[in-house]
Amino acid sequence: MGIQNSQHQSAVERYRSRQATIGIVGLGYVGQPLAFCFVEGGQKVLGFDVNRRVVDLLNSGQSTIEHIGADRVASALSSGFEATTDYARVAEADCLIICVPTPLNRNREPDMSYIRATMASIEPHLREGQFIALESTTFPGTIDDEVLPVVHRRGLVPGETIFVAYSPEREDPGRKDYSTRTIPKLLGGVTPVCTEVGVACYEAAINTIVPVSSTKVAELAKLLENIQRAVNIGLVNEMKIVADRMGIDIHDVIDAAATKPFGFVPYYPGPGLGGHCIPIDPFYLTWKAREYGINTRFIELAGEVNGAMPDFVVHKIAMALNDRFKCIKGARVLVLGIAYKPDVDDMRESPSVIIMEKLRDLGAELSYSDPHIPVFPETREHHFTMTSVSLDPETLKSYDCVLLATHHAAFDYDMLLEHAPLIVDTRGRYRGDNLNVVCA
């Protein structure tokens, strides 16, 4: 009943009395809204990020994410929120919730460098009584492989002198019907005591916490959520190619099938997969499964289909221009929407950008219009020096092809239809017979 009970009860009481300091490591699309939920739940929050610009903007009251308003940042600051690049302050935090990227490398293998760098930064400052939660999407066993060795090197014992859990993020930027607070949250601790402490910690920020039996169950559950979507989207994208060859509108087919009141869930095709989850997370499992001698054929086939969709779109553009006695080389192409989904400013893994690169390689003269991304940002892999084009009738008439890649609500679709000489529609926005519209 000694150290374990003392540390455990002290931690639970500290969280439930709102006397804890919450440390959020990584202030991006996941960490930032979570930090503000904790503040709004009455906890003091200290945010950590390696990006000095993000830290300075937040501390000055400016939002770095479109769907998070400056008023919410200002309110958090007035309630004690602070952002810092000084990882020595990790010792001030009673819990550390890690929300850093987990991309794929060039060989489509998990890139664990962000998690490893984070653990190296916090290691010297870990202390007894802290709670550590990893939220980054990853493969089963990451807590065991990447987090626990660091804890053990500090001489800390999970469930006794420190508490460790995995609690996958379920953030969906721009969603209106659910928010960070209202999306149920999985949590699997290294021990039952770790789970109990984790639930007490998250109660200030999340309405519904769902304890699971282990960290590996939580890790694999997150992958299953996104793999299910990836496989179903791969299926409907393949159906789209088949329907196109048969001269059938795939959206008419989906609408018809969706009238069945059971057994069918509609998924919709597009120009490829985007966002940080669905195009990436399935390959964390395919990589890990090979360690066990298993080939995950469904997952890899879905990835192959979805990854080929930008080529399908480029081919449709080429054929549409060819029908108008033009070629891609030298054609003026306007890409509508470079965010990966409608009505957000998130470009991570956007298929629009992949299509732009393919068109550029074929000699097209490119522009883009996106009301949520006024300037094409600097990224590690994609390089364009562009600003968003304002849409008006004369501008639209000046392009040989307008590619509807992301269907933002802010676009004036009637104006596009009236004035664009050619629209290649990847989102099924235009239905019926329109002489200047080609579905892709």
Are 60 and 183 within one domain?
A: yes
Task: Write out pLDDT tens, residues 221-259.
Answer: 999 999 999 999 999 999 999 999 999 999 999 999 999
Choose among 353, 371, 432: nearest CA to 407. Answer: 371
E strand intervals along 113-211:
131-134, 163-166, 185-189, 209-211
Averaged pLDDT, 423-427: 97
Model's pTM, two decimal places? Answer: 0.92
Please check whether residue 233 lies inside any domain of the structure: no
Does 199 map to a domain?
yes
How many domains does the structure of the chain reveal? Answer: 2
Considering only residues 88 and 7, tell me which one the structure prediction assigns the higher pLDDT: 88
Average pLDDT over every residue of 41-60: 97
What is the structure's pLDDT at 366? 97
Q: How far, in Å, CA of 160 to CA of 190, rounded?
A: 11
Q: Is residue 206 domain-shared with residue 74, that is, in the same domain? A: yes
In one letter, which amino acid is 321?
A: L
Reported confidence tier of residue 5, pLDDT bands at 50, 70, 90? low
Whether 277 is a known active-site residue: answer yes
C-alpha to C-alpha distance for 407 and 340, rounded to whole angstroms: 10
Are 212 and 326 within one domain? no
Residues 198 and 252 in one domain: no
Asked, for residue 79, whether it belongs to a domain, the answer is yes
The string of pLDDT tens digits covering residues 97-140 is: 999 999 988 888 899 999 999 999 999 999 999 999 999 999 99
- The verdict on 265 and 140 lying in the same domain is no
How many residues make up the chain in this entry?
440
Residues 143 and 261 in one domain: no
- pLDDT higher than 50, residue 300: yes
Residue 121 lies in a domain: yes
What pLDDT sits at residue 3?
A: 44
Judge whether 250 lies within some domain: yes
In single-letter form, the type of residue at position 270 comes to G
* Local structure of residue 125 (DSSP, 8 states): G
pLDDT of 4 above 60: no
Is the pLDDT at 271 greater than 80? The verdict is yes
Residues 6+ apart with CB under 8 A from 288: 110, 139, 140, 141
CATH number for the domain that contains residue 399 = 3.40.50.720
Identity of residue 198: G
For residue 227, the one-letter residue type is I
Average pLDDT, the chain: 94
83 and 151 co-located in one domain: yes
- Torsion angle of the four alpha carbons 147, 47, 75, 19, in this order, in degrees rounded to the nearest 10: 60
Q: Is pLDDT of 2 > 50?
A: no
Q: Is the pLDDT of residue 429 over 60?
A: yes
Same domain for 343 and 383? Answer: yes
Query: Is 1 a residue whose pLDDT tops 50?
Result: no
Q: What is the pLDDT of residues 43-52, one digit of tens each?
A: 999 999 999 9
Q: Does residue 236 lie in a domain region?
A: no
Predicted confidence at residue 268, as pLDDT, reads 95
Sheet strand arrangement including 423-425: 365-369, 332-336, 401-404, 423-425, 437-439
Same domain, 189 and 251: no
Confidence check: pLDDT of 217 > 80: yes
Residue 51 belongs to what domain range? 3-216
286 belongs to a structural domain: no
pLDDT tens digits, one per residue of 172-212:
887 889 999 999 999 999 999 999 999 999 999 999 999 99
Whether 298 is covered by a domain: the verdict is no
Distance CA 10, CA 362 (A): 63
Strands 163-166 and 185-189: antiparallel
CA 59 – CA 67 distance, rounded (Å)? 18
3-state helix, strand, coil in the chain (%, to 5): 40, 15, 45
- In terms of domains, do 201 and 250 share one? no
53 & 200 share domain: yes
Residues 126, 251, single domain; the answer is no
As separate numbers, helices (DSSP H) first and strands (DSSP E) second, the chain gives 15, 13
- Catalytic one among 277, 327, 401, 439? 277
Cα–Cα distance between 352 and 360 in angstroms, integer?
A: 12
Query: Is the pLDDT score of 276 beyond 50?
Result: yes
